[in-house]
Amino acid sequence: MPSFLKMLVAAGALVAATAHAAFPERPITLVVSYAPGGAADTVARVLATRLGARLGTSVIVDNRAGASGTIGASYAAKAPADGYTVLYDATPYSINPHLFAKMPYAAQALQPLSLVLLMPNVLIVKADSPFRNVNDLIAKAKAEPGQLNFASGGSGTVQRLASELFRQKLNLDMVHVPYKSGGPAIADVMGGQVDFMFATVTASYPLVSGGKLRALAVSAPERSKRLPDVPTVAETVLPGYEAYEWNGLFLPAGTPEAVATQLQQALMAVLNEDEVKQRLADLGAQAIGSTPAAFADFLKKEDAKWAEVIRKGNITLD
């Protein structure tokens, strides 16, 4: 090969290597589909700080809340596929397509990057409830069909669907009482206006440990480290039952593989930091981290599960 051609090839290789090494050249925007102050936002801000340190740039949290997370997801789906826009989303991502008549973005417009965490729900009742365990509640529901009611923060929430999955699997006749958010729903369970609900560990643990609520069961296959004495639904009445709140990262479809890999590896490193794992554990969550392929498989299972629950329950948006 002539020397000048060798020089061109070498120069081209250097440019390519420099382009790859250059990412990120500017701040990255982490779009959070939920409002500031919530569990998803809290975790996203912890990750943004640590990811920025790992990647050598700023990671800026951009809250775009509303419409069960579809506003933020739609914004991220339409962003350039260059790695500078990352979506932080949660369980409604798998629920919304089965509740909305038309989604504001195409299903293929986002690509999974990594599962971030799993957070179980807890079946709670008021502190002086006659239900001492989950079997007491089931017995009452069977003895008096249509008399027990359960709360949730809205039809499109995991709180609602966790209860609906529980109801369907046990063939129980109970009444759903929707609220605009989880906080007022928990307050009315605590006050006895509603019989029970599935709430996140984050929201319910302080009230359970403070004696203001009683926890009957956990929705994960394994017991929560924060509530080790509370059995799981699976071990008591419904083997295989599980209903999680999950958080995960997505990229606009078509993001270069090298960039996606760099982001995913940085996230894995962050999730393996002892301080981050402890922060998530304090929220009642388990740090996960995954490959894009593993996250995609997880999403397929979540999609199928909630599609069936919504169809069987004839669930619509409030």
Is 3 among the domain residues?
Answer: no
At 15 the pLDDT is: 44
Residue 172 maps to a domain: yes
In a domain, 43, yes or no: yes
Q: So what's the pLDDT on residue 307?
A: 97
Using CA atoms, how far residue 90 sits from 12, 187, 213, 225, in Å, is 41, 24, 26, 22
Asked whether residue 128 falls in the same domain as residue 153, the answer is yes
- Candidates 34, 119, 29, 107; CA nearest to 69 is 34
Q: For the stretch 59-92, what's the b/e string if a residue is b when 16 or more beta carbons lie within 10 angstroms of its beta carbon?
A: bebbbbbebbbbbbbbbbbebebebbbbbbbbbb
Of the candidates 111, 97, 132, 50, the one whose C-alpha atom is nearest the C-alpha of residue 254 is 111
What whole-number distance in Å separates Cα of residue 280 and Cα of residue 287?
Answer: 6
171 shares its domain with 110: no
Specify whether 152 is located in the same domain as 296: no
Residues 6+ apart with CB under 8 A from 64: 31, 32, 33, 71, 72, 75
Q: pLDDT value at position 1?
A: 52
State which residues form the domain around 167.
Answer: 119-218
pLDDT for residue 12:
47
pLDDT of residue 136: 97
Per-residue pLDDT at 181: 86
Dihedrals phi, psi of 227, to nearest 5 degrees? -130, 65
CATH number at residue 254: 3.40.190.150
Provide long-range contacts, Cβ within 8 A and 24+ apart, for 289-294.
289/114, 289/115, 289/116, 290/114, 290/115, 291/114, 291/264, 292/111, 292/112, 292/113, 292/114, 292/260, 292/264, 294/115
Same domain membership, residue 128 and residue 101:
no
pLDDT 10s digits, 93-148: 999 999 999 999 998 999 999 999 999 999 999 999 999 999 999 999 999 999 99
Which residue, 43, 39, 42, is CA-closest to 287? 43
Do 61 and 112 fall into the same domain?
Answer: yes
Residue ranges in the chain modelled with pLDDT below 50: 3-20
Residue 156 is predicted with a pLDDT of 82
* CB contact set of 317 (below 8 Å; sequence gap of 6+): 99, 100, 154, 155, 156
3-state SS string over 111-147? EEEEEEEEEEEEEEEECCCCCCCHHHHHHHHHHCCCC
Compute the Cα dihedral for 214, 159, 50, 225 and give only its sign: positive
pTM for this predicted structure: 0.89
Q: Is residue 23 part of a domain?
A: no
E strands along the chain, which residues?
A: 28-32, 59-63, 85-90, 110-126, 149-152, 175-178, 196-200, 213-218, 244-252, 286-287
Do 138 and 208 lie in one domain? The reply is yes
Does any domain span residue 232?
A: no
CATH number of the domain bearing residue 168:
3.40.190.10
Q: Give which of 295, 315, 313, 285 is closest to 93, Cα–Cα.
A: 295
**Type of residue at 294:** A
101 and 91 in a common domain = yes
Q: What is the pLDDT of residues 31-55, one digit of tens each?
A: 999 999 888 999 999 999 999 999 9
Query: What SS3 class is residue 60?
Result: strand
Distance, CA of 72 to CA of 110 (rounded, Å): 12
Same-domain status, 214 and 123: yes
pLDDT of amino acid 296? 98
**pLDDT at position 255:** 98
How many domains, in total, are found in the chain? 2
206 & 252 share domain = no
Query: What CA–CA distance (Å, rounded) separates 273 from 252?
Result: 27
